[in-house]
A and B are shown apart, each in its own frame.
Chain A
Amino acid sequence: MLNGTTADQSVERTNLRINAVKTCQPIGAMYAALGIHGCMPHSHGSQGCCSYHRSHLTRHFKEPVIATTSSFTEGASVFGGLANLTQALKNIFSIYNPEIVAVHTTCLSEVIGDDIPTIVKRAREEGAIPEGKLVIHTNTPSFVGSHVTGFANMVTSTLKYLAAEPTGETKDQLNIVPGFVEPADMRETKRIADLMGVKTVMLPDTSGVLDGPLDGTYKMYPKGGTQVADIRTMADSMATIALGHFASNPAADWLEAKQQVPAAHLELPIGVGATDAYVEALRAYAPEGKVPEALETERGRLVDLISDMQQYFHNKRVAVAGDPDHVIAMVKFLIELGAKPVYVITGSPGNHYERRVHELLDPIVPDAKIKQSADYYELHQWMKQAPVDLLIGNTYGKYLARVENTPFVRFGFPILDRVGHRFFPSVGYNGGIRLVELMLNALLDHKDRTCAEEWFELVQ
């Protein structure tokens, strides 16, 4: 049966991943590239990689996802991918006519050792790349890090290519690197900045790309995405706000180190405190230096909702699985709600993750199990040893939720079996309201379905 997991932990697994909470770098690079306007993501490897990433993103966003591939053959794998990439660039520009092509590598081209900048340079000399068109690249070896690393690499590389030449004149704008989040989250992050009166350039920005309307046409390059012209100005911005250590800090750090654009390192603005921190960071650059009433009211509504329903969260044992930036932010929010995150895992590697979650949880839940490079199999073993009241994770968590009959909230990437994530943000005060609603519904629906009749209550 689906329940193949045993509570027995005698087997120490170092050679085996079962039911991963991560995937490989290239898909993160592809997602980031889709957040650049007029961009064709290009996968330099076998055609399967490209096909898998497109299918996976399509299942998550329910939107067309474009990308091209170098279609490696056995020959390319022996002699290198120069001919394939040159031919690919020629074809991409002649038929799909993007403004920019964002190349990412795969494990195959990484191990072969293809030197992308040299290949692109030669392609340009041969006339494969039309005048005025751009080709950028990033390295995304699948055997290092995770999809989050790939996202961070693509964002950083985009800046290295396009924000390399500051004018020296500071522009009245902030850079925002939003993290590996949904189009709705990016939209909400921008809206909050707008409310504060702060001009921003967000990179990447998939709102308007992967949450498009049905208008009877198929657009290869939808309206959304960060304009290349705007990316070029990011070296001149007042500062960069990076949301998320893993997905966003590398890009902000590069801008700080190379272009002297100061970086503010924040966590994903999920919940009251983290959103406050984001608003505070914006306030320093807001023309009037204050928080508008509209935003204060949104905050008040979230706090009001939590106060109305806090009794249902008190000391609830929660398991959280997902990408490191998401998990850290969610743990903070759960603490605000009065819940007890007892199992906290990410599939991605990263010592900062364990350090930070320990810092958050050690004073409150000293015996919490916190682990990087973990998988669903291990989390499932823990849940069998001592159950939880609520599970928060991506779609794959549903196997555990079903077997253990645990209330389950889908959060993070990917979500393959429900809608909503594209449209309703998790970030900001409004995002907090949505998350509280999702968690409460999961807890109370479960109680309504499973409690004894005498405990079945009309009013909660």
Chain B
Amino acid sequence: MARQLDILPDRAAQIGRAGEGGSTQPALKAGRHSLAGSVSQRACVFCGSRVVLYPIADALHIVHGPIGCAAYTWDIRGAQSSGSQLFRNSFSTDLQEMDIIYGGEKKLERALRDLIERHQPKAAFVYATCIVGLIGDDLEAVCKTVSAACGIPVLPVASEGFKGTKKDGYRAACESVLKLIGTGDTSKVTKRSINLLGDFNIAGETWVVRSYFERMGVEVVATITGDGRVDDIRRCHGAGLNLVQCAGSMTHLAKRMQDDYGIAFKKISFFGIEDMAAALYETAAHFEDPAIMDRAREVVRDELAAIMPKIREYRRDLAGKRAAVYVGGAFKAFSLVRALRSLDMDTVVVGTQTGDAADYEQLREMCDPGTIIVDDSNPIELAKFCLEKDVDLFIGGVKERPIAYKLGIGFCDHNHERKEALAGFVGMVNFAREVHASVMSPVWNFVPRRASRAAALKEVAS
């Protein structure tokens, strides 16, 4: 790759370009631990478990460790609940020096008993942090004791921060959820039913998507974990199909449910018109019921009729604008590339935190030649790519937002801090509106980059 960008030499294997070298180009190396010393945008195992599990709203979530891990994850995700708000509190054992020396098991047990008595949750999740892995507290044993005494499932989450990447945290979360599944009564679950895996109800997205399936006549048994409920999860092994939205976090759970309960799963996406419609049609096709398929078509037709005029309006302004995408999982990246295309925008930089080699191969195939494809990036790289490609929009998370703005680039948060539902058909309009608002904001007229672009245009014209 002959390019002018300074990148860490060891990072070269994690950066590629679409359309260069064809199939002879070596696969992007992914799934690696971040290089020591890089300004990585990645988090840890604990983070992975915590973001996945915490939307289960009627469960108790307690972080066993020093205060930081609980403090930084206190209600940060914007996951919404239609009922219990217990999960939005921050419970921690706040381990102190003496606990590190003598162990924190007793403290944890007392904390759990106290909280369970006071809040009567349906289940409790106990998150391990780095320190627990070192001092050797036996979470399994404590959870077992408390569970027996209090009569609710108390589930340890093996989320010691250093034991891998965020992806390993997702897996640990799935393992804990698996302990709940299969413990409920499925006699009332209908045959034509699904579970939604890997949608977290950010800005109410689970509610949007759920309504489509219900209009098709498909029962939604459990939403895992957006607006999640313990009792739904306990009986979700009765469902006919699992739909996996966030493949990175929930494929493991889907596979295990296939093995243990024979439930088929499909990896789908609710972002963008094409992907959302495909998800509905695939579900209808799975149940081999023409009536469901008819209703799916009806849903798609009605929804499209409602949104297309608005989308066409936004598209007029956005056509030809360039976008950089840097998100957590590859599946979301696929959806965003497609969604941006439906707004006639070009994705010129695309990267993820947790994609694997196959994901990057697929991105390479999807994207136009010359598109920069990157695994586990850092601010300097991202800034350089954005400037090189002169992008108009950056789609990313909290740490990328101010960098984009400093460069004079519009931004759309497609992560924890999105404030409007971006999933489903209505989500596409919201997405288009957000992108439009940011890309077309008058503030960019005051930015040197844009000003010089205007000057260059003038020069060409004269």
Query: Do the beta carbons of B447 and A214 come within 8 Å of each other?
Result: yes
Query: Do the beta carbons of A19 and B43 come within 8 Å of each other?
Result: no
Q: Which of A140-148, A313-321, A329-337 contacts B (4 or more CB under 8 A)?
A: A140-148
Query: Do the beta carbons of B74 and A19 come within 8 Å of each other?
Result: yes
CA distance A72 to B47 in the complex (A): 15
Within 8 A of B (CB), among A41-81: 42, 45-56, 58-59, 62-74, 76-77
Query: Do the beta carbons of B85 and A55 come within 8 Å of each other?
Result: no
Query: Do the beta carbons of B380 and A112 come within 8 Å of each other?
Result: no
A297: interface (CB < 8 Å): no
Mask, A89-103, CB within 8 Å of B = 1, is 111101110000000
Mask, A318-345, CB within 8 Å of B = 1, is 0000000000000000000000000000
Query: Do the beta carbons of B35 and A71 come within 8 Å of each other?
Result: yes
B457: interface (CB < 8 Å): no
CA distance A296 to B166 in the complex (A): 56
A13: interface (CB < 8 Å): yes
Assuming the contacts A74-B163, A107-B65, asked whether A54 and B8 have C-beta atoms less than 8 A apart, the reply is no
CA distance A95 to B380 in the complex (A): 9
Query: Do the beta carbons of B70 and A77 come within 8 Å of each other?
Result: no
CA distance A146 to B383 in the complex (A): 33
> Which chain A residues lie closer than 8 Å to B379 at the CB level?
64, 66, 218, 220
| Nearest CB in chain B: distance from A50 CB, A | 7
Query: Do the beta carbons of A217 and B164 come within 8 Å of each other?
Result: no
A108: interface (CB < 8 Å): yes
Q: Which among A15, A27, A108, A218 is the interface contact of B111 at CB below 8 angstroms?
A: A15
Query: Do the beta carbons of B402 and A220 come within 8 Å of each other?
Result: no
B135: interface (CB < 8 Å): yes
> Which chain A residues lie closer than 8 Å to B114 at the CB level?
11, 13, 15-16
Mask, B81-106, CB within 8 Å of A = 1, is 00011101111111111011000001
Output the residue of B36, B90, B108 with the most chain A CB within 10 A.
Answer: B36
How many residues of B are in contact with the other chain, CB < 8 A?
A: 81
Output the residue of B44, B71, B99 with the most chain A CB within 10 A.
Answer: B71
Closest B residue by C-beta to A40: B39
A427: interface (CB < 8 Å): no
Query: Do the beta carbons of B162 and A74 come within 8 Å of each other?
Result: yes
A17: interface (CB < 8 Å): yes
Within 8 A of A (CB), among B51-99: 65-74, 76, 84-86, 88-97, 99
Closest A residue by C-beta to B403: A64
Query: Do the beta carbons of A1 and B85 come within 8 Å of each other?
Result: yes
> Which chain B residues lie closer than 8 Å to A142 at the CB level?
66-68, 131
CA distance A369 to B61 in the complex (A): 29
CA distance A52 to B135 in the complex (A): 23
CA distance A220 to B34 in the complex (A): 19
A20: interface (CB < 8 Å): yes
B45: interface (CB < 8 Å): yes
CA distance A48 to B168 in the complex (A): 13
Within 8 A of A (CB), among B394-420: 398-399, 401-403, 405-408
B449: interface (CB < 8 Å): yes
Query: Do the beta carbons of B447 and A216 come within 8 Å of each other?
Result: yes
> Which chain B residues lie closer than 8 Å to A419 at the CB level?
none
A386: interface (CB < 8 Å): no
Query: Do the beta carbons of A15 and B110 come within 8 Å of each other?
Result: yes
CA distance A187 to B44 in the complex (A): 36
Assuming the contacts A13-B114, A16-B91, asked whether A111 and B408 have C-beta atoms less than 8 A apart, the reply is no
A22: interface (CB < 8 Å): yes
> Which chain B residues lie closer than 8 Å to A106 at the CB level?
130
CA distance A62 to B42 in the complex (A): 19
Mask, B358-375, CB within 8 Å of A = 1, is 000000000000000000
CA distance A215 to B106 in the complex (A): 54
> Which chain A residues lie closer than 8 Å to B164 at the CB level?
73-74
B46: interface (CB < 8 Å): yes
CA distance A53 to B399 in the complex (A): 10
Query: Do the beta carbons of A26 and B68 come within 8 Å of each other?
Result: yes
Query: Do the beta carbons of B47 and A17 come within 8 Å of each other?
Result: no
Mask, A1-40, CB within 8 Å of B = 1, is 1101010000101111111101110110000000000000
Within 8 A of A (CB), among B114-162: 114-115, 118-119, 129-131, 133-135, 161-162
CA distance A218 to B399 in the complex (A): 13
B258: interface (CB < 8 Å): no
Query: Do the beta carbons of B406 and A76 come within 8 Å of each other?
Result: no
Mask, A124-164, CB within 8 Å of B = 1, is 00000000000000000111101000000000000000000
Closest B residue by C-beta to A84: B36
A285: interface (CB < 8 Å): no
A184: interface (CB < 8 Å): no
Query: Do the beta carbons of A111 and B100 come within 8 Å of each other?
Result: yes
Assuming the contacts A48-B43, A48-B161, A96-B39, asked whether A220 and B68 have C-beta atoms less than 8 A apart, the reply is no
| Nearest CB in chain B: distance from A79 CB, A | 12
CA distance A65 to B166 in the complex (A): 21
Query: Do the beta carbons of B36 and A70 come within 8 Å of each other?
Result: yes
Query: Do the beta carbons of B36 and A20 come within 8 Å of each other?
Result: no
A441: interface (CB < 8 Å): no
Q: Which among A26, A73, A76, A218 is the interface contact of B383 at CB below 8 angstroms?
A: A218
Query: Do the beta carbons of B398 and A216 come within 8 Å of each other?
Result: no
Query: Do the beta carbons of B37 and A91 come within 8 Å of each other?
Result: yes
B41: interface (CB < 8 Å): yes
CA distance A52 to B131 in the complex (A): 16
Q: Which among B36, B89, B108 is the interface contact of A19 at CB below 8 angstroms?
A: B89
Within 8 A of A (CB), among B378-400: 379-380, 383, 398-399
Query: Do the beta carbons of A23 and B72 come within 8 Å of each other?
Result: yes
> Which chain B residues lie closer than 8 Å to A68 at the CB level?
37-40
Mask, A193-213, CB within 8 Å of B = 1, is 000000000000000000010
CA distance A215 to B407 in the complex (A): 7
Closest B residue by C-beta to A62: B402
Query: Do the beta carbons of B86 and A4 come within 8 Å of each other?
Result: yes
Query: Do the beta carbons of B95 and A143 come within 8 Å of each other?
Result: yes
| Nearest CB in chain A: distance from B166 CB, A | 8
B448: interface (CB < 8 Å): yes
> Which chain B residues lie closer than 8 Å to A22 at the CB level?
67, 71
A424: interface (CB < 8 Å): no
> Which chain B residues lie closer than 8 Å to A87 at the CB level?
35-37
Query: Do the beta carbons of A20 and B161 come within 8 Å of each other?
Result: no
By a beta-carbon cutoff of 8 Å, the part of chain B in contact with chain A is: 6-8, 10, 33-47, 65-74, 76, 84-86, 88-97, 99-100, 106-108, 110-111, 114-115, 118-119, 129-131, 133-135, 161-164, 166, 379-380, 383, 398-399, 401-403, 405-408, 446-449
Q: Can you give 10 contacting A-B residue pairs, CB < 8 Å? A: A2-B88, A11-B118, A15-B110, A18-B89, A47-B43, A51-B41, A53-B72, A56-B72, A89-B37, A218-B406
Given contact pairs A65-B399, A72-B161, A218-B406, enumerate 18 new A-B contacts (beta carbons under 8 Å): A45-B130, A46-B161, A48-B46, A48-B69, A49-B44, A51-B44, A52-B69, A63-B402, A69-B34, A69-B40, A74-B162, A91-B10, A95-B6, A108-B131, A108-B162, A143-B95, A144-B97, A216-B448
By a beta-carbon cutoff of 8 Å, the part of chain A in contact with chain B is: 1-2, 4, 6, 11, 13-20, 22-24, 26-27, 42, 45-56, 58-59, 62-74, 76-77, 84-85, 87-92, 94-96, 106-108, 111-112, 141-144, 146, 212, 214-220, 377, 396
